[in-house]
Structure 1
Amino acid sequence: MSDMFCFQCEQTTKSSACIGKAGICGKKADTAKLQDVLTGALVGLARAAQVNKPNASTHRTMLEALFTTVTNVNFDNEAVTRQIEAVRNAKNTLLAQVGNPGVNTGDYDIEKLWNDNEDIRSLKSLLLFGLRGMAAYAYHALILGYSDEEVNNFFYKGMFAIGEDWGMDELLPLVMESGTVNLKCMEMLDKANTETYGTPVSTTVPLTIEKGPFIVVTGHDLYDLYQLLEQTKDKGINIYTNGEMLPAHAYPKLKAYPHLKGNFGTAWYNQQKELDHIPAPVLYTTNCLMPVKDSYRDRVFTTAVVAYPGMVHIDEAKDFTPVIEKALELGGYTEEHRMTGINGGTQVTTGFGHGTVLSVADTVIDAVKAGAIKHFFLVGGCDGAKSGRNYYTEFVRQTPQDSVILTLACGKYRFNDLDWGEIGGLPRIMDMGQCNDAYSAIRVAVALAEAFDCGVNELPLTMVLSWYEQKAVSILLTLLSLGIKNIYLGPTLPAFVSPNVLNYLVDNFNISPISTPDEDLKKILG
């Protein structure tokens, strides 16, 4: 076995795996090996949970540790080592209450998985990476005080299976079940966000940065943004979102802060260019952290499970004083700084979650019946730096004028700054939010199917998805668990999916790899 083996994201070397001293994401081999040890320790914790019921503290440990292993979250060996210790302490606490458990509760050697039969490895990888993605969503909900026992218990069930010598007949149903549980998890997070911050509303967000001190907040965690907004009000500091934090502008409780001004930059993979010599601090709340360049190393702050060597970390107390002081010290731009989207646009629109879209359901249904809307496309997902992702921009460009484009996650930055016009009194492009807001897309699809008395697969709806990391895996499994077919997936298919497992997905769900926008649209629209 080489120093490193990792194929959990789309960016893998030669679409196969990152092997050797470092990954394409910038993760070093020693960090990757520690994350493997952490994963093996989580299997040990899941084994202990078979003999003694875990509690709320155990659940949080499970979520934080799984979240730590998601791509572009944690590059800090010391932080990962602390997570390993926390997991083993949680396991020992469970075992101390039962004496001799009589079963194997040891840690699992993850290299056994990487060297397993390719079909078993494929199914276990789908399960493991789906669990990692779901853990991120469950963590965000937990921070807001929301949890669900079925969701919590499935993490132990799934991680236990990773360490067992099970065959395809046992693993495949569990992979599909993970998609079902993730739907419940995304529903829980949707409830947590909307009950805490209100139902998102359509909101236009400028891309221009005003002069004066400011802070850029990236990631996904709305709670961290809320705390920062509270701590910076009346301090003369403006707040700008970045990446997946853009949809925060649509939540009434957050948009009520007048110093939440706009959005800085585009998708996560552009950060090394967009943050170069930025005169402001950047707060990373979740994943999407790339290796930090020297030109802005002194102004990067992390919080929650995000960590990078040498960066200032804000602990659970969420005292953002160091970030605030750095903003005042740097002073921001001396005059208005004009930024644009990837295509040169100066503003973007967000806030079309299921609450907003379903509030105008009658308008949508009437537009379909009148022939004004003939097709719906869901085009979105995780973006990335690898070539081929301009497909999504060109695909949207070529969609007919009588179609609506729903979008979500950071893949929307490929085209969300362009004016796509209106149709039936509605904008042709509707940003539904973060990656977890795939739940909104599902709610809208189900509502349309009910309105037209048909199945979701019978709707004039096509999903054209881009994937990068593990949250996209969990969403894909959710769509498959609902029986949704004819999904177009790109820019490449997951390297961890074996030919036999891929054939199963193609035969049962008609998953198609993207080709060219022209060819795919001809296939979709006939």
Structure 2
Amino acid sequence: MNNQMFCFQCQETAGCKGCTVSGVCGKKPDVAAMQDLLVYVTKGLSAVTTRLRAEGKPVSPEVNHLVTLNLFTTITNANFDRASIMESVQKTLSLKQRLLAELSDASGLPEAATWAAPASSFDAKAATVGVLSTENEDIRSLRELITYGLKGLAAYSKHANALLQDDEEVDAFLQKALSQTLDDSLGVEELVALTLETGKYGVAGMALLDKANTQAYGNPEVTSVDIGVRKNPGILISGHDLRDLEMLLEQTAGTGVDVYTHSEMLPAHYYPAFKKYPHFAGNYGNAWWKQKEEFQKFNGPILMTTNCVVPPAASYVDRLWTTGATGMPGCKHIPGAYGEKKDFSAIIAQARTCPPPTELETGSITGGFAHEQVFALADQVVDAVKSGAIRKFVVMAGCDGRQKSRAYYTEFAEKLPKDVVILTAGCAKYKYNKLDLGDIGGIPRVLDAGQCNDSYSLALIALKLQEIFGLEDINDLPLAFNIAWYEQKAVIVLLALLSLGVKNIHLGPTLPAFLSPNVANMLVKTFGITGIGTVDEDLKLFFGEA
């Protein structure tokens, strides 16, 4: 087995092949090893829970939550704290041993389900269970594609769980699929089927999160968000967890501390429930990859609630806080389990000693075009399509990143024909959401549905348009897909779209390194997935013009 670090789960992996010395994200080999081991023991736990269900025995929500939290911990840019990851491994092993004792028949379980050892053996074991432990390139590719999709599904489930929403069917599938990635009897055909089934449950997981968010905070509405600063000290909250934001807003009320969103937390401003807080100031900065520059200038503390953490510069390491699945050595962590009220008093106290944020920009940006808001505009949208005022929609959802090649998406938005509307969700929008692209008959040419977590809205909008226009095939809509990806939540969104029958998706700025040539060819042949070309080439392909 290969004992060298090997990770290729994100778009920026070294050379579009794999990180082998240190992660481009900043992850070190010893952290990568513990993440590999955490995934392995979580698959083993899932094999046990799957057997328990087959015996008709219940699996508790606490067990389900641990599986999703473990997977979320290993998503790119979430947790860099080796010690906390080792604690998760030990907790998982202890739980697994307890559940094994509940089985009537433990025969035939994979080795991951029965392995147990002291922490002193963790590194040696991790060296044998990483990505390269699957020798067949195509089997490896499909196993990793499924695993990364399940990591994305786990992230959606974890956010819903934080709002006390669960779906046992989704959890049972997630664990069954994890355990099946250990099954050497499954060949390419079976793993392709499991990949598509993962997409189906991705839709269910996104529906669960949409329900959790909208029941708790209302349906997003069109909102203009200030991007300037105020004169009070502030706390900057980043990531995706709306429950963390709610608790922070409650606890900062009346303290003289303002709360600003960053990157993927921007769409929180669209929810009615958060508008009652006068100290909910606005959005500060841009996408996740600019945080080293922008966090220094914020001056106050920053709370990272989920992935999108970049190892901090020394100038603000004492002001960076983590919670939930995130972790960073040298940074303070705020604990709190599902349903518990977290104590943010320490970060609030620090904020009150800090100067106000340094202004980066002024003005505002508009968003809030989730499914219910777009449905309310349906007649106006349909009329614009029928009259020819809107020729086409292009979905430009997904992730932003630091590579210069991502300037493609800014140029693509700028050069789009004036009768084309962008549908977006995720931090990919930061490539163009501050451009003056105008509107079409009062309909903005950038319709922002929210976080990457809100990609479900884009699927619902497409399905609603298909219904309104009476089309049998979703691919007959005046709709193109030009999606930017970075990490594993984008993978589950892609698989969800494939499960809905969407074809001819353009994916960039590069195709995933974890797709073997044969698997990539299968996706091209079956679903028409392609990489991006030049802006002018793709404009001509999508719209017949450059």
Same fold (TM over 0.5): yes
Alpha carbons of 1:382 and 1:197: their partners in 2 closer, same or farther (altered >3 Å)? same
Q: CA deviation at 1:364?
A: 0.4
Q: CA deviation at 1:274?
A: 0.8
- SS at structure 1 position matched to 2:381: helix
Note the 1:477-496 alignment, pairs <5 A. 477-496=495-514
Matching residue of 2:168: 149
Matching residue of 1:225: 245
The letter of the residue matching 2:188 is M
Q: Distance in 2 between matches of 1:156 and 1:113?
A: 22
Q: Distance in 2 between matches of 1:178 and 1:517?
A: 32
CA deviation string 1:42-67 (max 9, x = no partner): 12102212332322111011011010
The letter of the residue matching 1:323 is I
Matching residue of 2:148: 129
Matching residue of 1:55: 60
Q: CA deviation at 1:426?
A: 1.0
Q: CA deviation at 1:310?
A: 1.4
- SS at structure 1 position matched to 2:86: helix
- SS at structure 2 position matched to 1:389: helix
Q: CA deviation at 1:113?
A: 4.8
Q: CA deviation at 1:115?
A: 4.0
Contact 2:37–2:130 (8 Å) recurs in 1: no
Contact 1:73–1:286 (8 Å) recurs in 2: yes
Superposed structure 1 runs of 4+ greater than 6 Å apart:
none
Residue 338 in 1 paired to residue 359 in 2?
Answer: yes
The letter of the residue matching 1:301 is W
Note the 1:295-306 alignment, pairs <5 A. 295-306=315-326
- SS at structure 1 position matched to 2:109: coil
The letter of the residue matching 1:226 is E
Q: CA deviation at 1:377?
A: 0.8
Residue 83 in 1 paired to residue 88 in 2?
Answer: yes
Q: CA deviation at 1:100?
A: 5.6
- Between the two proteins, the alignment pairs up a number of residues equal to 518
Contact 1:373–1:424 (8 Å) recurs in 2: no
Q: Distance in 2 between matches of 1:498 and 1:205?
A: 43
Match for residue 239 of structure 1 among 224, 234, 259: 259
Matching residue of 1:328: 352
Contact 1:277–1:295 (8 Å) recurs in 2: no
Matching residue of 1:33: 33
The letter of the residue matching 2:32 is A
Matching residue of 1:107: 112
- SS at structure 2 position matched to 1:318: coil
Matching residue of 1:451: 468
Q: Distance in 1 between matches of 2:261 and 2:12?
A: 25
- SS at structure 1 position matched to 2:310: coil
Alpha carbons of 1:471 and 1:306: their partners in 2 closer, same or farther (altered >3 Å)? same
Match for residue 225 of structure 2 among 196, 199, 205: 205
Contact 2:33–2:130 (8 Å) recurs in 1: no
Q: CA deviation at 1:486?
A: 1.2
- SS at structure 2 position matched to 1:4: coil
The letter of the residue matching 1:320 is F
Residue 467 in 1 paired to residue 485 in 2?
Answer: yes
Q: Distance in 2 between matches of 1:445 and 1:99?
A: 47
CA deviation string 1:384-429 (max 9, x = no partner): 1122000000001111111111111001001101221111221111
Q: CA deviation at 1:106?
A: 3.3
- SS at structure 2 position matched to 1:126: helix
Q: Distance in 2 between matches of 1:506 and 1:356?
A: 34
What is the TM-score of this pair, normalised by structure 2?
0.93
- SS at structure 1 position matched to 2:281: strand
Identity, % of aligned positions: 46
CA deviation string 1:209-228 (max 9, x = no partner): 11121000000000000000
Matching residue of 1:319: 343
Alpha carbons of 1:327 and 1:402: their partners in 2 closer, same or farther (altered >3 Å)? same
Note the 1:94-493 alignment, pairs <5 A. 94-98=99-103, 101-107=106-112, 109-111=128-130, 113-165=132-184, 166-316=186-336, 317-333=341-357, 337-340=358-361, 346-454=363-471, 455-493=473-511
Q: CA deviation at 1:154?
A: 1.1
The letter of the residue matching 2:427 is C
Contact 1:44–1:105 (8 Å) recurs in 2: yes
- SS at structure 1 position matched to 2:112: coil
What is the TM-score of this pair, normalised by structure 1?
0.96
Q: Distance in 2 between matches of 1:319 and 1:140?
A: 19
Q: Distance in 2 between matches of 1:348 and 1:133?
A: 28
Q: Distance in 1 between matches of 2:70 and 2:205?
A: 17
- SS at structure 2 position matched to 1:262: strand
Q: Distance in 2 between matches of 1:507 and 1:142?
A: 37
Q: CA deviation at 1:438?
A: 1.1
Contact 1:229–1:239 (8 Å) recurs in 2: yes
Residue 520 in 1 paired to residue 535 in 2?
Answer: no
- SS at structure 2 position matched to 1:485: coil
Q: CA deviation at 1:275?
A: 1.1
Q: CA deviation at 1:371?
A: 1.0
Structure 2 residue runs of 5 or longer lacking an equivalent are 54-58, 114-127
- SS at structure 2 position matched to 1:388: helix
Q: Distance in 2 between matches of 1:40 and 1:441?
A: 33
Alpha carbons of 1:446 and 1:322: their partners in 2 closer, same or farther (altered >3 Å)? same
Matching residue of 1:10: 11
CA deviation string 1:171-222 (max 9, x = no partner): 1100000000010000110010000000000111111111121000000000
Q: CA deviation at 1:331?
A: 3.1
The letter of the residue matching 1:11 is E
Contact 2:31–2:81 (8 Å) recurs in 1: yes
Q: Distance in 2 between matches of 1:146 and 1:175?
A: 25
- SS at structure 2 position matched to 1:24: coil
Contact 1:248–1:255 (8 Å) recurs in 2: no
Contact 1:45–1:105 (8 Å) recurs in 2: no
